[in-house]
Amino acid sequence: MPDVLVTGATGKVGSRLIPRLVRQGKRVRALVRDLERGAPLRGESVELALGDLLDPESLRAAVRGVDTVVHCAAFFRGATPEQAHAVNEQGTRLLAEAAREASVRRFVFISTCLVYGPKQGALTDEDASCSPVDAYPRSKLAAERLLLTMEGLDVRVLRLPFVYGDGDPHIAEAVPLMRHFPPRQRLAIAHHADVAEAVNLLLDAPAPAHHIYNLVDDEAPDHAALFAAVGEPPPDGSQPGRARAFDVLPDGRRIREELGFQPRYPRLADALVCAPEDLKGLRRRTAGR
């Protein structure tokens, strides 16, 4: 039987997390809504489960026999408030209830550092107040609060910053969205390799249940540096108001001090030097627009 159920298996985080879990010796069940799209994930240690977060019966089948759940699935960009609420909050509740009924040992919830809301760039730890601006982080915060009050389920929350690397076009995709942001405003980031390392720690470490962890690099680049990494000129700074929703720098000390986490890529510059193949394709793609 599989050790881990991963939801959002074809998404940015899930699709890059699964191969790393397998390399750590885990057997994975990948929850997908489309078997054809999920086919590249299938392997000796990865089985596919067809299901949907809003279909309780499919969730009960998906969690059957697994030891842990890593819940990556979410409706992110383009979601209406109603869609974000349905998928990110209600879907999480249905999955958590199914996991509890199946006596799943641990439930790792992949959340976002955007739940803090604007902090004017202040360093922000896990105990800080949360006032998210947009529908996506509001729905993720609601899901967190639901999970953290659920009895009978060992929950760990991992709040992610802007994630990049492993050939993920996330930076290039974000350029149009951030084209008018202040060039010197900083953005917390983390490489997919470091996300996987943090998840592995949360799967097995005897840390306190119902605990929240921020995950961030040692250094948050400014928007100009992020744009330069994919060969783009700096943003023009004409819409500082919109950029405030993302103006938070999470404090990542807790996961390091409690679980011994150390990033493989502490800075964007390290990824550019050690894994330049992550971004070469992005440069070519953006240069040809």
Q: Where are the domains of the chain?
A: 4-165+189-219+248-265
Query: What is the residue-averaged pLDDT of the chain?
Result: 92
For the chain, how many residues are written?
Answer: 289
pLDDT in tens, 4-14: 999 999 999 99
Strand extents, DSSP E, the chain: 4-7, 28-32, 46-50, 68-71, 106-112, 123-124, 155-160, 162-164, 189-191, 211-214, 249-250
What pLDDT is recorded for position 10?
96
Model confidence at 133: pLDDT above 80: yes
pTM of the model: 0.94
pLDDT in tens, 155-190: 999 999 999 999 999 999 999 999 999 999 999 999
CATH superfamily of 4-165+189-219+248-265: NAD(P)-binding Rossmann-like Domain (3.40.50.720)
